[in-house]
Each structure stands twice: as structure tokens, then as C-alpha cells.
Amino acid sequence: MSASDGEHEPTAVLPETAAQLVELERLQQALTQAEERAKNHWEQYLRAVADLENVRKRAQRDVEGAHRYGVEKLVQELLPVKDSLELAVENAPRADAKSLAEGAEATLKLLIKAFEKLNVTELNPVGEPFDPSQHEAVLAQESRDAEPNSVLQVVQRGYGLNGRLLRPARVVVARAPA
């Protein structure tokens, strides 16, 4: 049938001008580039999420390891002290008082050395002003020789670890005579 018989062939919508054709091509290229960038961004996002998950798992393993083996250094430093005490106990029935005292001194030196390596400091505040953040007053005693509110005597030494208080020193504090 011909067009004159009343039937029409479907017509395609075509750009009317060359400028529209160029614009359509430019838009298709821009769409392709945008889709490619979106795909790259999605892949970067997925890699970042995976990396973050790996960091989280590694940090969790590190924390678990620190909890499990955190006291290892402490134990290694205290083992010679234990060995020395065991030796003293084994030899106590055959030892005299002088050798027992010498053994106790040697063991104490080992313990002091271990504390030094672990950054444990001793608080022995005799003569210093009383500091409630570092000291625990167990008694206030009159004194003519010491400044009021100063430490007269240490009942039990305190200890710190890396600048943090582990145990306050228990002290007798001077007060002015009545």
C-alpha cells in the first residue's frame, strides 16, 4: 500500500537540526562518564568499608592480645623474686639468721629493680605537706618540730605507676600543739 491509500508508515522522531544531534551525542557521553564515575565511587566505597572492617578486627585482636598477655612483662620481672623466695624457703631450715637476713635483702633488691623497670615509684612523703590526693591520713598528732599539716611518719608507703596513683601512702599528719 502506498501512502495515498490512507495508511501511514511509522515515523521516527529525529533531531530536527545538526545542533540537536550534537547535543544528544554530548549528553549520551556525559551520561556514560557519570555512570563510570558512579561505578568507581561505589567500588571505592566497598573497598573503604572492607578496609574499615579489617582495621576494626585487627584492633579487636590487639586488645584481646593486650588483655591476655598484658601482664607478661610484670610476670617476667617478678619471676626472679619468686625464685629467690623459693630458694630462701628451701634453705631456711639450714640457714642462720644472718644468711636469712642477707637473702631477704637480696630478694628485696630484686623486687625494687623489677619495680624500677616497670615504672613503679614509691611514695615516702616524710616531711612533705599532706596531700589528700596522694596520702591517706590515719592519725593527726601534735608536734612542736614539724609544720602543721605535714607528714610526720609513714605507716605504709604508697605507690604510683607511670604517674598514676596505685595506692596512697598511709601517714601520720602533724598538727599544731593545743
Longest alpha-carbon distance in the chain: 136
pLDDT, residue 172, reads 96
pLDDT of the chain, 178 residues: tens digit per residue: 444 555 666 655 555 788 888 898 999 999 999 999 999 999 999 999 999 999 999 999 999 888 888 788 888 989 999 999 998 899 888 889 898 899 999 999 999 999 999 899 999 999 999 999 999 999 999 998 999 999 999 999 999 999 899 999 999 999 988 8
Q: What residue ranges do the domains of the chain occupy? A: 120-178
Question: How many CA atoms within 13 Å lie on the side-chain side of 88?
Answer: 18
Q: DSSP character for 168?
A: P
pLDDT, residue 74, reads 86
pLDDT, residue 19, reads 83
CA distances from 97 to 81, 82, 103 (A): 20, 20, 10
CA gap 168, 123 in Å, rounded: 8
Residue (of 168, 152, 151) closest to 160 by Cα position? 168
Q: DSSP character for 127?
A: T
pLDDT, residue 9, reads 66
pLDDT, residue 169, reads 96
Q: What are the contacts of 101-108 at 24+ separation with CB within 8 A?
A: 107/81
Q: How many CB atoms lie within 10 A of CB 168?
A: 20
Does this model's pTM top 0.85? My answer is no
pLDDT, residue 32, reads 96
Give the domain 120-178 fold.
Answer: Nucleotide Exchange Factor Grpe; Chain A, domain 2 (2.30.22)
Cα 111–113–118 angle (5° rounding)? 95
CA gap 163, 22 in Å, rounded: 74
Residue (of 142, 125, 49, 91) closest to 41 by Cα position? 49
